Structure 1
Amino acid sequence: METEQQRDLNAQLIEFEPQHYSLLIEWIDSDELNYLWGGPQFEYPLTVEQLETHYGKQAPTPFLFVVNGEMVGFIELFKVSDCEQRLCRVFIHPTCRGKGYAATMLELAIVKAKMVDEPQTLSLAVFAHNHSAIACYEKLGFKPYETVSGLRYFKGKNWDLIRMSQPL
């Protein structure tokens, strides 16, 4: 179901394909942003080889978020199990933040998640210091269910991870 904002923005998710790798590599332009976006899965600088390896697996399904013909964001759906999908690697280009795009992108991803094997739960993990992302997720109905400390470190500092979910 399309929301009014999605219609007004002409917003959609398109398949993230190998010809888009260079765009994502350009967007992820620092080691901190790389870790914030990809966790320990990717090393900075991000490379085509890392993306090929990651997206050569069957579980992740990546999308680019396009608004009025411009590629402005990225999101990944990950099949955890037959009853759970996870939102991963959520990213809105810095020049496009503050416009409500993240919520629209997430709404579109939630619709896609509901179409895959009829999952019962949609989950995600977010770093505790990413307050704007947490607020966005909560507005869309995600509830925190666990805070994990000591699992993720960036430059020697612990980054707590908040796990959130919502029933579908």
Structure 2
Amino acid sequence: MRLDEFTEQNFDQLIQWINSEELNYLWGGPNYTFPLTHQKIRQHCSKQDVFPFLCTFKGQNVGFVELIKKTDHHFRICRVFIAHQYRGQGLSAKMLNQLIAKARTEFKATHLSLAVFEHNIAAKHCYESLGFKTVSIEIGTRSFRGKNWDLVLMDKALTQKTSKENALKEA
């Protein structure tokens, strides 16, 4: 599995994946309106604090994820997406583990945060399995088609890899 920089040549792939208004809101929150367009993606991804990545697995594009710089050492994980045909294979956790390692080593992050809709149970379990802890729940701050979607805010402190983790990675 690889995380590569998400570039304009990948925009059509993302547009193909995010193919409904509800999926668009679940994935992008209020930052994107449906349907996605090259202009909307370019406008968002060109911000200097946004670091988008395309995830590939066995030569196939399987997902998308972003890091958003909040401070020099705090980054937020946003817009996590695994293509429908690749779900249920543990790829989200693998992609996020790579993103966490990249955040730690390349971006020198010591703190990661994210937000997930309360009803997105699979995503919440994935984040919890990676050591993210719920720090608060925003009730009534987001809504889709007149229905409130509660937002769970989660955090994870990063430490430098221990010698044991380094040994496991090299094995």
Q: TM-score, normalised by structure 1?
A: 0.92
Identical residues among aligned pairs (%): 49
Q: Does 1:118 align with 2:112?
A: no
The question of 1:141 aligning with 2:121 is answered no
SS of the residue 1:37 aligns to: helix
Aligned partner of 2:29 in structure 1 is 39
Separation in 2, partners of 1:141, 1:158: 27
Alpha-carbon distance in structure 1 between the residues aligned to 2:52 and 2:14: 11
1:106 aligns to 2:128 (yes or no) = no
1:161 maps to: 151
Q: C-alpha displacement at 1:151, in angstroms?
A: 1.0
2:119 to 129, 136, 146: 129
> Is there any run of 5+ residues in structure 2 with no aligned partner, and where?
159-171
Of residues 20, 25, 31, the one that matches 1:30 is 20
After TM superposition, which residue ranges in structure 1, 4 or more long, deviate above 6 angstroms? none
What corresponds to 1:87 in structure 2?
77
In 2: Cα distance, 1:82 partner to 1:137 partner: 23
Match of 1:58 in 2: 48
CA–CA separation in structure 2 for the residues paired with 1:62 and 1:115: 16
Query: Aligned to 1:19, which of 2, 9, 16?
Result: 9
Encode CA deviations 1:33-84: one digit per residue, 9 max, x unaligned.
Answer: 0000000010100110100110111011000110010000000011011121
Counterpart amino acid of 1:78?
I
Question: Alignment partner of 1:150: what SS?
Answer: coil
Q: What is the CA–CA distance in structure 2 between the aligned matches of 1:139 and 1:57, rounded to whole Å?
A: 30
Query: What's the counterpart of residue 167 of structure 2?
Result: none
Partner of 1:5: none
TM-score (norm: length of structure 2): 0.90
